[in-house]
Amino acid sequence: MVSLIIGHKLLPPTPSPSLQSRPAANRQDKPTPASLACGLVIDTLLVVNNYRDYDQDRAVGKKTLIVRMGRERAEQLYGWLGNIATYMMWGCLVLGDSSFVLMLVCFACFVPYALLHGATRVQMRRIGRGRELNKVLGMTARNMFVFGVTTAIVTLFIL
């Protein structure tokens, strides 16, 4: 997960030296936190997938992060990944240069993702084991889609 975030989410959007040499007022410093937020949302799918395979991985001695953490902490990790992603996007909006009303509208755009993510975490905990967790994988994919579309729309207006 860490290599996914660092290798694919943090490094590509890092500003080039020519952008870094510009005055701070002329730079867009928001792409890096926004891309990290997207990486965290993608990681929720990895957590669910490994959570679903927990019993099999543990039985054969695989030492995945989820096996090492245990089920309860994996559920917490899933929750925190989505929540932190939402907070990071809200932080980008607060630091934006747009009008207050536009910022509030875009801020509200991420509320559906936050609610869907919370409901998915409840389902994950309720189901716990077995093939039924495939539903949680599907719900997480839906959440990723909602986050991605919301990010694209908000980016057009603010970031």
What is the average pLDDT across 8-14? 49
Q: What is the pLDDT of residues 43-86, one digit of tens each?
A: 999 999 999 999 999 999 999 999 999 999 999 999 999 999 98
pLDDT-derived band at 28 (thresholds 50, 70, 90) equals: low
Question: For residue range 100-151, what is the model confidence (pLDDT) as tens digits?
Answer: 777 777 778 889 999 999 999 999 999 988 888 999 999 999 999 999 999 8
Q: Which long-range contacts (CB under 8 A, 24 or more apart) does 126-130 make?
A: 128/71, 129/54, 129/55
pLDDT of 155 > 60? The answer is: yes
Q: How far is CA 11 from CA 1, 8, 32, 83, in A?
A: 15, 6, 8, 22
Nearby residues of 121 by Cβ (< 8 Å), 6 or more positions away? 75, 78, 79, 82
Residue 129 sits at φ, ψ, to 5 deg, of -145, 160
pLDDT at 3: 47
**Mean pLDDT of the region 5-32:** 48
Give pTM, 2 decimals. 0.75
Residue 18: is its pLDDT beyond 50? no
Banded pLDDT at 30 (limits 50, 70, 90): low
